[in-house]
Amino acid sequence: MLPSVSHNEADHVPVLAEEVRELLALRPGETVVDATFGAGGHSTLLARDLRGAGKLVAIDRDPAALPYFERLRRTAGVQTRFLRGDFSSVLPHLAANGVRADAILLDLGVSSMQLDRPERGFSYASDAPLDMRMDPTQELTAAALVNEAGERELERIFRRFGEERFARRIAHGIVVRRARRPFERTADLVDTIKASIPAPARFGEGHPAKRVFQALRIAVNDELGALERALPAAVEMLRPGGRLAVIAFHSLEDRIVKQFLRAEARGCVCPPELPICVCGHEPLVRILTPRALRPGPQELAQNPRAASARLRAAVKAR
């Protein structure tokens, strides 16, 4: 049975909502794709902007998103459709089949509905099964990764995806601990992380397990690979003049988005030594956000989780 919508989750406030609405600039009759539907916060506002004429397509890999979509569908006032799956596979499928959109939103990372359910294992603040799957039907879990990956592979994951400076110590501590008993709970992992790092680091800025949990979540759900596969498909789906908005929550995601948009916004790609352009290459997009937009003080006061959010957007030129 799918979970119901709790009161707190039903009141979920989407990050950078007004900035997203301004950049996507929806008009009646247009089609918008919310490729990371989650609890439907952004979709609710975007559906209103269509003012009773248009279509909203919602995508999410997590079946827990379906009750939120059903709630939205009853009140949206526009055509709605829910597609269950990872946006990195759904968007290319839609693009290959000629589906076109006027606006696409990607709100990356873990959603509030996942963080606020301790049994999903995303949070280091609650003891729960060591899971972290955004799609609970996939095989790989955080427990499997922690218990089966080699020490060097764990170090690489913590260093690359979490930018954890004590990656080697933590990886070694995990391997020593799992030799006695496999990891099953988030609390077991938190205790091992704390025991593996120098004492002063346990009381520094932020929770000592924050970066490792981020790294494991990214690895379990292939978040960076999914983003790299989805961005070209999203641009392909857009009609000329269509808008793409992407919200990232850490530097690795944001770097991928920034570099992709810059590459697509380039004109001539000829070698610099050529005196004139012979490639004829034209920009595919025009960047709307020269610098990433960040939440303001008022939003941060209302929603501290928005602190690391960065929004970038572009419009399809041709």
- Pair (173, 210) in one structural domain: yes
- Is residue 2 domain-resident? no
- Between 16 and 112, name the one with better pLDDT: 16
Is there a domain that residue 44 lies in?
yes
Strands (E) in the chain, as ranges, are: 31-34, 55-60, 79-84, 101-107, 238-248, 285-287, 310-316
Q: How many CB atoms lie within 10 A of CB 74?
A: 9
Instruction: Assign residue 194 the CATH number of its domain.
Output: 1.10.150.170
**What tens digit of pLDDT does each residue of 56-84 get?**
999 999 999 999 999 999 999 999 999 99
Is 68 among the domain residues?
yes
Tell me which residue range forms the domain holding 94.
7-113+224-316
Q: Is residue 159 pLDDT above 90, yes or no?
A: yes
Residue 43 shares a structural domain with residue 138: no
pLDDT in tens, 236-287: 999 999 999 999 999 999 999 999 999 999 988 788 888 888 887 789 999 9
Q: What is the pLDDT of residues 131-156, one digit of tens each?
A: 999 999 999 999 999 999 999 999 99
Helix (H, G, I), strand (E, B) or coil at 313: strand
Judge if 273 and 302 occupy the same domain. yes
pTM of the model: 0.91
| Whether residue 236 sits in one domain with residue 91 | yes
Whether residues 215 and 277 share a domain: the answer is no
Answer yes or no: is 1 within a domain.
Answer: no
- What CATH number has the domain bearing residue 301? 3.40.50.150
- What is the C-alpha to C-alpha distance for residues 153 and 175, in angstroms, rounded to an integer? 11
The per-residue pLDDT for 12 is 67
Domain count, the chain: 2
Q: Do 53 and 102 share a domain, yes or no? A: yes
Mean pLDDT of the chain: 92
Instruction: Give the whole-angstrom CA distance, residue 67 versus residue 260.
Output: 34
The verdict on 135 and 217 lying in the same domain is yes
**Dihedral, 63, 103, 20, 43 alpha carbons, nearest 10:** -30
DSSP 3-state of 285: strand
